[in-house]
Amino acid sequence: MLSVLYLILFFVFILILTGLFLPVRFHVVLNEKSKSISLGWFFMMLGADFVSKTFELHLLNQRIISRKLRKKRKEKKVEKKPKKIKKKGRGFDVSALWKEKDLLTRVLVVFVRFIRDMLRSIRLNRFFVEADIATPDPALTGTIYGGLYALSVPTNFVSPNIRLKVQPDFENEIPRGRAEVAFNTRLVNAIGATLRMFFALPKIRIIRTFLKIKRR
Protein backbone atom coordinates (compact mmCIF):
# COMPACT_ATOMS: atom_id res chain seq x y z
CA MET A 1 0.00 0.00 0.00
CA LEU A 2 2.80 2.42 0.92
CA SER A 3 4.70 1.57 -2.25
CA VAL A 4 1.65 2.51 -4.34
CA LEU A 5 1.30 5.78 -2.42
CA TYR A 6 4.98 6.60 -2.90
CA LEU A 7 4.64 5.80 -6.59
CA ILE A 8 1.68 8.18 -6.92
CA LEU A 9 3.50 10.93 -5.03
CA PHE A 10 6.58 10.45 -7.19
CA PHE A 11 4.43 10.66 -10.33
CA VAL A 12 2.77 13.88 -9.07
CA PHE A 13 6.19 15.35 -8.22
CA ILE A 14 7.52 14.58 -11.72
CA LEU A 15 4.34 16.03 -13.23
CA ILE A 16 4.69 19.29 -11.27
CA LEU A 17 8.41 19.52 -12.02
CA THR A 18 7.73 19.02 -15.73
CA GLY A 19 4.99 21.64 -15.62
CA LEU A 20 7.37 24.23 -14.21
CA PHE A 21 9.56 23.97 -17.31
CA LEU A 22 6.76 23.74 -19.86
CA PRO A 23 5.77 27.02 -21.54
CA VAL A 24 2.61 28.82 -20.50
CA ARG A 25 0.98 30.12 -23.68
CA PHE A 26 -0.96 33.38 -23.85
CA HIS A 27 -3.01 34.47 -26.85
CA VAL A 28 -4.99 37.72 -27.10
CA VAL A 29 -7.18 38.71 -30.06
CA LEU A 30 -8.89 42.09 -30.38
CA ASN A 31 -11.00 42.94 -33.41
CA GLU A 32 -14.57 43.86 -34.36
CA LYS A 33 -15.83 40.26 -34.22
CA SER A 34 -13.87 38.90 -31.27
CA LYS A 35 -12.27 40.07 -28.06
CA SER A 36 -10.78 36.93 -26.63
CA ILE A 37 -7.99 35.78 -24.37
CA SER A 38 -6.69 32.26 -23.89
CA LEU A 39 -4.14 30.56 -21.68
CA GLY A 40 -2.61 27.19 -22.42
CA TRP A 41 -0.47 24.99 -20.20
CA PHE A 42 0.29 21.30 -20.28
CA PHE A 43 -2.65 19.68 -22.11
CA MET A 44 -5.11 22.35 -20.99
CA MET A 45 -6.41 25.54 -22.57
CA LEU A 46 -8.64 28.14 -20.92
CA GLY A 47 -10.35 30.67 -23.16
CA ALA A 48 -12.82 33.51 -22.79
CA ASP A 49 -14.54 35.52 -25.52
CA PHE A 50 -15.98 38.78 -24.25
CA VAL A 51 -18.07 39.41 -27.38
CA SER A 52 -20.00 36.13 -27.32
CA LYS A 53 -19.55 36.06 -23.51
CA THR A 54 -18.42 32.45 -23.42
CA PHE A 55 -15.88 30.56 -21.34
CA GLU A 56 -14.30 27.32 -22.51
CA LEU A 57 -11.99 24.68 -21.10
CA HIS A 58 -10.17 22.35 -23.49
CA LEU A 59 -8.27 19.22 -22.50
CA LEU A 60 -6.24 17.29 -25.07
CA ASN A 61 -7.79 19.46 -27.82
CA GLN A 62 -11.25 18.39 -26.70
CA ARG A 63 -13.75 20.90 -25.37
CA ILE A 64 -14.71 19.87 -21.84
CA ILE A 65 -16.60 22.93 -20.59
CA SER A 66 -18.40 25.67 -22.49
CA ARG A 67 -20.44 28.17 -20.52
CA LYS A 68 -21.89 31.60 -20.91
CA LEU A 69 -20.42 34.28 -18.70
CA ARG A 70 -22.81 35.59 -16.09
CA LYS A 71 -24.65 38.75 -16.89
CA LYS A 72 -24.55 41.65 -14.51
CA ARG A 73 -27.50 41.64 -12.19
CA LYS A 74 -29.67 44.70 -12.10
CA GLU A 75 -28.98 46.64 -8.98
CA LYS A 76 -31.98 47.23 -6.80
CA LYS A 77 -32.69 50.78 -5.91
CA VAL A 78 -31.98 51.34 -2.25
CA GLU A 79 -32.86 54.47 -0.40
CA LYS A 80 -29.73 56.29 0.59
CA LYS A 81 -29.36 56.74 4.31
CA PRO A 82 -27.65 59.83 5.65
CA LYS A 83 -24.00 59.10 6.20
CA LYS A 84 -22.58 59.49 9.63
CA ILE A 85 -19.77 61.98 9.82
CA LYS A 86 -16.64 60.23 11.00
CA LYS A 87 -13.92 61.99 12.82
CA LYS A 88 -10.79 62.34 10.81
CA GLY A 89 -7.95 60.26 12.12
CA ARG A 90 -4.32 60.24 11.35
CA GLY A 91 -3.81 59.45 7.70
CA PHE A 92 -0.85 58.21 5.73
CA ASP A 93 1.69 60.99 5.26
CA VAL A 94 2.88 60.49 1.68
CA SER A 95 5.17 63.51 1.81
CA ALA A 96 7.21 61.79 4.53
CA LEU A 97 8.24 59.14 2.01
CA TRP A 98 10.52 61.65 0.31
CA LYS A 99 12.70 61.56 3.40
CA GLU A 100 13.38 57.91 2.59
CA LYS A 101 14.74 58.54 -0.90
CA ASP A 102 17.44 55.90 -0.61
CA LEU A 103 14.83 53.28 0.32
CA LEU A 104 12.55 54.33 -2.55
CA THR A 105 15.47 54.20 -4.96
CA ARG A 106 16.45 50.71 -3.84
CA VAL A 107 12.86 49.43 -4.13
CA LEU A 108 12.53 50.99 -7.59
CA VAL A 109 15.80 49.39 -8.76
CA VAL A 110 14.65 45.96 -7.51
CA PHE A 111 11.28 46.38 -9.22
CA VAL A 112 12.90 47.42 -12.52
CA ARG A 113 15.16 44.35 -12.35
CA PHE A 114 12.07 42.18 -11.75
CA ILE A 115 10.35 43.63 -14.84
CA ARG A 116 13.55 43.10 -16.84
CA ASP A 117 13.79 39.46 -15.74
CA MET A 118 10.14 38.87 -16.60
CA LEU A 119 10.51 40.43 -20.05
CA ARG A 120 13.61 38.32 -20.72
CA SER A 121 11.66 35.16 -19.90
CA ILE A 122 8.91 36.01 -22.41
CA ARG A 123 9.14 34.61 -25.93
CA LEU A 124 7.10 36.60 -28.42
CA ASN A 125 5.48 34.33 -31.01
CA ARG A 126 3.27 36.89 -32.74
CA PHE A 127 2.60 40.60 -32.39
CA PHE A 128 0.27 41.96 -35.06
CA VAL A 129 -1.41 45.36 -34.97
CA GLU A 130 -3.42 46.86 -37.82
CA ALA A 131 -4.88 50.33 -37.38
CA ASP A 132 -7.13 52.48 -39.53
CA ILE A 133 -6.27 56.07 -38.68
CA ALA A 134 -9.32 58.33 -38.76
CA THR A 135 -10.13 61.74 -37.25
CA PRO A 136 -12.69 64.47 -37.99
CA ASP A 137 -9.89 66.51 -39.59
CA PRO A 138 -8.33 64.95 -42.75
CA ALA A 139 -5.15 66.99 -42.27
CA LEU A 140 -4.73 65.64 -38.74
CA THR A 141 -5.42 62.11 -40.03
CA GLY A 142 -2.60 62.47 -42.55
CA THR A 143 -0.20 63.84 -39.94
CA ILE A 144 -0.86 61.01 -37.48
CA TYR A 145 -0.67 58.41 -40.25
CA GLY A 146 2.69 59.78 -41.43
CA GLY A 147 4.18 59.60 -37.94
CA LEU A 148 2.90 56.07 -37.24
CA TYR A 149 3.94 54.81 -40.67
CA ALA A 150 7.47 56.12 -40.11
CA LEU A 151 7.50 54.20 -36.80
CA SER A 152 6.07 50.99 -38.27
CA VAL A 153 8.60 50.59 -41.11
CA PRO A 154 11.72 50.05 -38.93
CA THR A 155 9.69 48.12 -36.33
CA ASN A 156 8.68 45.49 -38.90
CA PHE A 157 12.37 44.70 -39.51
CA VAL A 158 13.08 43.98 -35.83
CA SER A 159 11.57 40.50 -35.90
CA PRO A 160 9.50 38.42 -38.35
CA ASN A 161 7.02 37.89 -35.50
CA ILE A 162 6.26 41.62 -35.25
CA ARG A 163 3.99 43.29 -37.75
CA LEU A 164 2.61 46.83 -37.55
CA LYS A 165 0.28 48.00 -40.29
CA VAL A 166 -1.32 51.46 -40.45
CA GLN A 167 -3.48 53.00 -43.12
CA PRO A 168 -5.40 56.27 -43.35
CA ASP A 169 -9.20 56.38 -43.40
CA PHE A 170 -10.47 59.75 -44.61
CA GLU A 171 -14.12 58.67 -44.78
CA ASN A 172 -14.69 57.86 -41.09
CA GLU A 173 -14.07 59.96 -38.00
CA ILE A 174 -13.40 57.19 -35.49
CA PRO A 175 -10.21 55.09 -35.68
CA ARG A 176 -10.50 51.32 -35.82
CA GLY A 177 -8.01 48.56 -35.36
CA ARG A 178 -7.22 44.92 -34.92
CA ALA A 179 -4.59 43.30 -32.78
CA GLU A 180 -3.27 39.83 -32.05
CA VAL A 181 -0.60 38.98 -29.50
CA ALA A 182 0.77 35.53 -28.73
CA PHE A 183 3.62 34.84 -26.33
CA ASN A 184 4.75 32.26 -23.83
CA THR A 185 6.83 32.04 -20.71
CA ARG A 186 7.83 29.36 -18.23
CA LEU A 187 6.62 29.19 -14.63
CA VAL A 188 10.12 28.42 -13.39
CA ASN A 189 11.34 31.75 -14.80
CA ALA A 190 8.46 33.70 -13.26
CA ILE A 191 8.98 32.00 -9.88
CA GLY A 192 12.73 32.64 -10.05
CA ALA A 193 12.24 36.35 -10.86
CA THR A 194 9.71 36.69 -8.02
CA LEU A 195 12.02 35.02 -5.50
CA ARG A 196 14.96 37.21 -6.55
CA MET A 197 12.81 40.30 -6.06
CA PHE A 198 11.56 39.05 -2.69
CA PHE A 199 15.03 38.40 -1.28
CA ALA A 200 16.45 41.63 -2.73
CA LEU A 201 13.84 43.87 -1.11
CA PRO A 202 14.71 45.33 2.32
CA LYS A 203 11.55 43.93 3.85
CA ILE A 204 12.20 44.81 7.51
CA ARG A 205 13.17 48.37 6.65
CA ILE A 206 10.06 48.78 4.47
CA ILE A 207 7.82 47.63 7.34
CA ARG A 208 9.56 49.88 9.86
CA THR A 209 9.30 52.89 7.53
CA PHE A 210 5.62 52.20 6.88
CA LEU A 211 4.84 51.94 10.61
CA LYS A 212 6.86 55.06 11.39
CA ILE A 213 5.02 57.13 8.77
CA LYS A 214 1.66 55.69 9.84
CA ARG A 215 2.15 56.82 13.44
CA ARG A 216 2.73 60.44 12.40
**Per residue in 50-85, pLDDT tens?**
888 899 999 888 889 888 877 656 556 556 666 655
User: Does a structural domain hold residue 35?
Assistant: yes
Q: Does one domain contain both 169 and 130?
A: yes
Distance CA 142, CA 148 (A): 10
108: pLDDT strictly greater than 60: yes
Q: Does one domain contain both 47 and 28?
A: yes
Q: Does one domain contain both 107 and 130?
A: no
Q: Does one domain contain both 163 and 133?
A: yes
Q: Does one domain contain both 62 and 29?
A: yes
Q: Does one domain contain both 191 and 118?
A: yes
User: Does a structural domain hold residue 171?
Assistant: yes
Q: Does one domain contain both 117 and 129?
A: no
Distance CA 116, CA 112 (A): 6
- How is the beta sheet containing 44-49 ordered, strand by strand? 62-68, 54-59, 44-49, 35-41, 23-30, 176-186, 123-133, 162-168
Task: Count up the domains in the chain and report the number.
Answer: 3
What is the per-residue pLDDT for 5? Answer: 83
Which has the higher per-residue pLDDT, 192 or 97? 192
Which residue range forms the structural domain that includes residue 197? 94-122+186-216
Residue 132: band (very low, low, confident or very high) from pLDDT cuts 50, 70, 90: very high
